[in-house]
């Protein structure tokens, strides 16, 4: 079976999202490597990836399970979903 790669649309600016679902759809269809602040570095083997830092956060197992449920509805992993929430929070000016 042949895999067909979907061509991503170029992104030069991240739009305002009305929902997490809308954000997930946009990220699934756009190449975000050229967004301001997205440093692209070469990885072994010639692949390119956005440089991400690893952080440790203490979260209750109940909260992790809820994150997993919500992320599964979007078809993304729960850590990706957490990153989406953080990015949205930052884009909204850090309002709680």
pLDDT tens digits, residue range 15-62?
888 888 888 888 888 877 776 665 555 545 444 456 677 888 899 999
pLDDT reading at 63 higher than 70? yes
Spatial distance between the Cα atoms of 23 and 84, rounded to a whole number of angstroms: 8
Longest dimension (CA), the chain: 47
pTM (whole model) above 0.75: no
CB atoms within 10 A of CB 84: 18
């Amino acid at each position: 079976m042949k895999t067909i790669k979907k061509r991503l649309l170029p992104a030069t600016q991240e739009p305002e999202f009305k929902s997490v679902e809308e954000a997930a759809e946009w990220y699934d269809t756009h190449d975000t490597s050229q967004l301001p602040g997205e440093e692209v570095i070469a990885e072994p083997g010639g692949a390119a990836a956005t440089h991400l830092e690893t952080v440790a956060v203490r979260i209750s197992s109940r909260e992790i399970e809820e994150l997993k449920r919500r992320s599964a509805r979007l078809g993304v992993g729960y850590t990706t979903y957490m990153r989406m929430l953080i990015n949205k929070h930052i884009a909204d000016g850090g309002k709680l």
